[in-house]
Amino acid sequence: MESLQLDLAITKAVTNDFSPENKLGTCGFGEVFQGRLPNEQQIAVKRLSQSSRQGDEEFKNEVLLVAKPQHRNLVRLFGFCLEGDEKLLAYEFVTNKSLDYFLFDPEKRGQLDWPLRYKIVFRIAQGMLYLHEDSRLQIIHRDLKCSNILLDNEMNPKILDFGMAKLNLG
Protein backbone atom coordinates (compact mmCIF):
# COMPACT_ATOMS: atom_id res chain seq x y z
CA MET A 1 0.00 0.00 0.00
CA GLU A 2 2.92 2.34 0.62
CA SER A 3 3.74 2.26 -3.09
CA LEU A 4 0.28 3.72 -3.78
CA GLN A 5 0.64 6.57 -1.32
CA LEU A 6 0.84 9.96 -3.02
CA ASP A 7 2.39 13.10 -1.61
CA LEU A 8 -0.12 15.92 -1.03
CA ALA A 9 2.25 18.57 -2.42
CA ILE A 10 2.66 16.63 -5.68
CA THR A 11 -1.08 16.02 -5.94
CA LYS A 12 -1.76 19.72 -5.44
CA ALA A 13 0.88 20.60 -8.02
CA VAL A 14 -0.47 18.29 -10.73
CA THR A 15 -4.03 19.61 -10.24
CA ASN A 16 -2.83 23.22 -10.04
CA ASP A 17 -3.92 23.34 -6.38
CA PHE A 18 -7.35 21.94 -7.27
CA SER A 19 -8.07 24.87 -9.55
CA PRO A 20 -11.56 25.37 -11.00
CA GLU A 21 -10.06 25.03 -14.51
CA ASN A 22 -9.10 21.41 -13.66
CA LYS A 23 -12.42 20.49 -12.08
CA LEU A 24 -14.13 17.62 -13.91
CA GLY A 25 -17.23 17.51 -11.75
CA THR A 26 -18.80 16.67 -8.44
CA CYS A 27 -19.78 13.28 -7.08
CA GLY A 28 -21.11 11.87 -3.81
CA PHE A 29 -17.49 11.71 -2.66
CA GLY A 30 -16.69 15.36 -3.26
CA GLU A 31 -15.04 16.99 -6.26
CA VAL A 32 -13.06 15.42 -9.09
CA PHE A 33 -10.09 17.17 -10.72
CA GLN A 34 -7.85 16.28 -13.61
CA GLY A 35 -4.10 16.39 -13.42
CA ARG A 36 -0.98 15.19 -15.16
CA LEU A 37 1.75 13.33 -13.30
CA PRO A 38 5.44 14.12 -13.96
CA ASN A 39 5.60 11.04 -16.24
CA GLU A 40 2.81 12.66 -18.36
CA GLN A 41 0.17 10.16 -17.16
CA GLN A 42 -3.19 11.93 -16.98
CA ILE A 43 -5.15 11.23 -13.78
CA ALA A 44 -8.48 12.05 -12.17
CA VAL A 45 -8.28 12.99 -8.48
CA LYS A 46 -11.31 12.54 -6.24
CA ARG A 47 -11.11 14.89 -3.27
CA LEU A 48 -13.23 13.95 -0.27
CA SER A 49 -15.18 16.95 0.94
CA GLN A 50 -15.41 17.53 4.66
CA SER A 51 -19.21 17.24 4.42
CA SER A 52 -19.09 14.09 2.28
CA ARG A 53 -21.34 11.12 3.01
CA GLN A 54 -18.28 8.93 2.57
CA GLY A 55 -16.37 8.46 5.80
CA ASP A 56 -13.07 6.97 6.80
CA GLU A 57 -14.24 3.36 6.47
CA GLU A 58 -15.51 3.82 2.91
CA PHE A 59 -12.30 5.61 1.94
CA LYS A 60 -10.12 2.80 3.32
CA ASN A 61 -12.41 0.23 1.76
CA GLU A 62 -12.04 1.80 -1.68
CA VAL A 63 -8.25 1.99 -1.41
CA LEU A 64 -7.90 -1.59 -0.21
CA LEU A 65 -10.33 -3.13 -2.69
CA VAL A 66 -9.49 -1.14 -5.82
CA ALA A 67 -5.71 -1.39 -5.41
CA LYS A 68 -5.65 -5.15 -6.08
CA PRO A 69 -8.00 -5.97 -8.99
CA GLN A 70 -6.68 -5.38 -12.49
CA HIS A 71 -9.20 -5.67 -15.32
CA ARG A 72 -9.77 -3.63 -18.46
CA ASN A 73 -13.31 -2.79 -17.33
CA LEU A 74 -12.33 -1.47 -13.90
CA VAL A 75 -10.97 2.02 -13.36
CA ARG A 76 -7.35 1.70 -12.26
CA LEU A 77 -6.30 3.29 -8.97
CA PHE A 78 -2.92 5.03 -9.20
CA GLY A 79 -2.76 6.06 -5.59
CA PHE A 80 -4.21 7.78 -2.59
CA CYS A 81 -3.31 10.59 -0.25
CA LEU A 82 -4.27 10.80 3.39
CA GLU A 83 -2.61 13.86 4.92
CA GLY A 84 -4.19 16.08 7.55
CA ASP A 85 -7.80 16.67 6.57
CA GLU A 86 -7.17 15.70 2.93
CA LYS A 87 -8.41 12.37 1.57
CA LEU A 88 -7.65 11.92 -2.12
CA LEU A 89 -7.92 9.07 -4.60
CA ALA A 90 -6.03 9.25 -7.92
CA TYR A 91 -7.45 7.17 -10.77
CA GLU A 92 -6.69 6.68 -14.42
CA PHE A 93 -8.25 9.49 -16.41
CA VAL A 94 -11.17 8.25 -18.52
CA THR A 95 -11.89 10.60 -21.42
CA ASN A 96 -15.68 10.41 -21.68
CA LYS A 97 -18.07 11.03 -18.86
CA SER A 98 -20.25 8.51 -17.08
CA LEU A 99 -22.79 6.27 -18.76
CA ASP A 100 -25.67 8.22 -17.23
CA TYR A 101 -24.41 11.37 -18.98
CA PHE A 102 -24.95 9.61 -22.31
CA LEU A 103 -28.21 7.86 -21.38
CA PHE A 104 -30.00 10.89 -19.97
CA ASP A 105 -28.79 13.58 -22.38
CA PRO A 106 -31.20 13.72 -25.36
CA GLU A 107 -28.39 14.60 -27.81
CA LYS A 108 -25.75 12.19 -26.44
CA ARG A 109 -28.25 9.32 -26.22
CA GLY A 110 -28.24 9.13 -30.02
CA GLN A 111 -24.59 8.01 -29.93
CA LEU A 112 -25.62 4.84 -28.09
CA ASP A 113 -26.95 2.62 -30.85
CA TRP A 114 -27.96 -0.95 -29.94
CA PRO A 115 -24.66 -2.64 -30.90
CA LEU A 116 -22.77 -0.13 -28.74
CA ARG A 117 -25.22 -0.58 -25.84
CA TYR A 118 -24.71 -4.34 -26.10
CA LYS A 119 -20.92 -3.90 -26.04
CA ILE A 120 -21.14 -1.66 -22.96
CA VAL A 121 -23.46 -4.02 -21.06
CA PHE A 122 -21.39 -7.08 -22.03
CA ARG A 123 -18.14 -5.47 -20.83
CA ILE A 124 -19.72 -4.29 -17.58
CA ALA A 125 -20.80 -7.90 -17.05
CA GLN A 126 -17.23 -9.05 -17.77
CA GLY A 127 -15.92 -6.63 -15.14
CA MET A 128 -18.47 -7.81 -12.60
CA LEU A 129 -17.72 -11.47 -13.37
CA TYR A 130 -14.05 -10.75 -12.79
CA LEU A 131 -14.81 -9.13 -9.42
CA HIS A 132 -17.13 -11.92 -8.29
CA GLU A 133 -15.34 -15.00 -9.57
CA ASP A 134 -11.99 -14.46 -11.30
CA SER A 135 -10.22 -11.94 -9.05
CA ARG A 136 -7.95 -13.20 -6.28
CA LEU A 137 -10.17 -11.15 -3.97
CA GLN A 138 -13.84 -11.81 -4.62
CA ILE A 139 -15.47 -8.39 -4.41
CA ILE A 140 -19.15 -7.48 -4.32
CA HIS A 141 -19.54 -3.92 -5.65
CA ARG A 142 -22.95 -3.09 -4.05
CA ASP A 143 -23.32 0.29 -5.80
CA LEU A 144 -23.39 -0.49 -9.52
CA LYS A 145 -25.30 2.23 -11.36
CA CYS A 146 -24.90 4.28 -14.53
CA SER A 147 -23.08 7.11 -12.76
CA ASN A 148 -20.45 4.60 -11.55
CA ILE A 149 -19.61 3.50 -15.09
CA LEU A 150 -17.20 5.71 -17.03
CA LEU A 151 -16.71 5.42 -20.79
CA ASP A 152 -13.27 5.73 -22.36
CA ASN A 153 -12.51 7.27 -25.76
CA GLU A 154 -13.60 4.03 -27.49
CA MET A 155 -16.79 3.84 -25.37
CA ASN A 156 -15.45 0.94 -23.29
CA PRO A 157 -16.97 0.93 -19.80
CA LYS A 158 -14.87 1.30 -16.65
CA ILE A 159 -16.48 0.46 -13.31
CA LEU A 160 -15.59 2.74 -10.41
CA ASP A 161 -16.63 3.76 -6.89
CA PHE A 162 -15.89 0.86 -4.58
CA GLY A 163 -16.69 2.71 -1.35
CA MET A 164 -19.68 0.44 -0.65
CA ALA A 165 -18.00 -2.77 -1.87
CA LYS A 166 -17.21 -5.71 0.35
CA LEU A 167 -15.17 -8.87 0.15
CA ASN A 168 -17.09 -12.07 -0.44
CA LEU A 169 -15.79 -14.28 2.33
CA GLY A 170 -17.87 -17.30 1.46
Is 143 in the active site? yes
Q: Give the model's pLDDT for residue 51.
A: 64
- DSSP E strand stretches across the chain: 23-26, 30-36, 42-48, 77-83, 86-92, 139-140, 149-151, 157-159, 166-167
User: Is residue 58 over pLDDT 80?
Assistant: no
Rounded Cα–Cα distance for residues 170 and 165 (Å): 15
Distances (CA, A) of 14 to 1, 8, 40, 131: 21, 10, 10, 31
Helix (H) or strand (E) holding 63: helix 56-67
Quick one: pLDDT band at residue 5, thresholds 50, 70, 90? confident
> Residues 85, 100, 143, 161: which is the catalytic one?
143
Give 65 or 71, the one with higher predicted confidence: 71
Comparison of pLDDT for 104 and 56, the residue scoring more: 104
Rounded CA separation 34/94 (Å): 10
pLDDT over threshold 60, residue 16:
yes
What domains are there in the chain, each with its CATH number? 2-92 (3.30.200.20), 99-167 (1.10.510.10)
- Per-residue model confidence as pLDDT tens digits over 137-154: 888 888 899 999 999 999
* pLDDT 10s digits, 84-102: 888 899 999 999 999 999 9
Write down the mean pLDDT value for the chain. 87
Name the more confident of 117 and 50: 117
